[in-house]
């Protein structure tokens, strides 16, 4: 991510610009869901390809198994991501109900919690009391502050459906790449596998580098780490297929 110039930073931090930026709706990044879906999709399909190649299965079998796993595992991952988001929203709603009950029943105790939370941030004396009074004046602000400061929870930008759809789309789009050589007629089995290996390796490296570039981190280090993890998963699948084929003599 390019670093803005000093002049641009000054312009972005003028009162009007800050007011407009903070007033805009907060949207959670979809990149983590896309990275999760992309890496898992590629690992899933290439693991099937590697296992089929290690077991000596035909390219047709590898292609059928690969696409079957691509759709089934992609849907399963999307559902899991959706349910995880829903569970997080349910947790937030439960904690919010509890805090509202506590504010209604023991307001002085909840003010003391506010006082201690903000004392830990360096507020003292009259300023601390002003902060506590200001935050406890509005129940909605009070509850939102307790959720964030006491529990580290926030529902801002959280969308289970969006996370599920992004994960599923990335899973399908990236996971289909290692299967492409098996859909090309006329290629030998070894050539198909090596081409799939090259595509999977490029995907692992590219996803890792893209993730790091977006967050301003060393790109090659992350790319190589993702590549090594993907290679390990594929190697495990290949070894399993080879071992089972030798064990069963199929």
pLDDT in tens, the chain (250 residues): 556 677 787 777 877 877 787 677 667 677 788 888 888 888 888 888 887 887 788 888 888 888 898 999 999 999 999 999 999 999 999 999 999 999 999 999 999 999 999 999 999 999 999 999 999 999 999 999 999 999 998 888 788 999 999 999 999 999 899 899 988 888 888 898 889 888 888 888 888 777 776 666 676 777 777 778 777 776 776 677 667 666 765 5
**pLDDT value at residue 128:** 94
**pLDDT value at residue 144:** 92
**pLDDT value at residue 22:** 66
Rounded to two decimals, the pTM is: 0.77
Cβ distance 178 to 200 under 8 Å? yes
Alpha-carbon distance of 133 to 57, in angstroms, equals 71
Alpha helices in 27-123 (DSSP H): 31-55, 59-105, 107-119
Altogether, the residues listed in the chain come to a count of 250
**pLDDT value at residue 98:** 95
């Amino acid at each position: 991510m390019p670093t803005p110039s000093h002049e641009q930073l000054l312009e972005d931090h003028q009162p009007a610009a800050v007011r407009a930026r903070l007033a805009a709706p907060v949207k959670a990044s979809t990149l983590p869901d896309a990275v999760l879906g992309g890496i898992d999709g590629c690992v899933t399909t290439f693991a099937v390809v590697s296992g089929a190649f290690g077991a000596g299965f035909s390219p047709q079998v590898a292609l059928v198994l690969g696409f079957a796993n691509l759709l089934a595992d992609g849907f399963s991952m999307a559902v899991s991501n959706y349910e995880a988001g829903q569970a997080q929203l349910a947790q937030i709603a439960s904690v919010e109900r509890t805090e509202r009950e506590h504010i209604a029943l023991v307001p002085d105790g909840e003010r003391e919690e506010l006082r201690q939370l903000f004392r830990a941030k360096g507020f003292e004396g009259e300023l601390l009391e002003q902060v506590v009074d200001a935050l406890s004046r509005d129940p909605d602000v009070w509850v939102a502050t307790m959720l964030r400061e006491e529990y580290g929870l926030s529902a801002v930008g959280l969308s289970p459906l969006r996370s599920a759809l992004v994960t599923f789309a990335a899973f399908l789009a990236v996971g289909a790449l290692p299967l492409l050589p098996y859909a090309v007629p006329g290629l030998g089995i070894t050539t198909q596998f090596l081409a799939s290996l090259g595509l999977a390796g490029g995907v692992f490296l590219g996803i890792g580098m893209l993730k790091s570039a977006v967050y301003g981190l060393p790109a090659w280090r992350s790319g190589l780490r993702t590549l090594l993890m993907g290679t390990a998963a594929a190697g495990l699948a290949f070894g399993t297929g080879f071992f089972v084929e030798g064990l069963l003599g199929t």
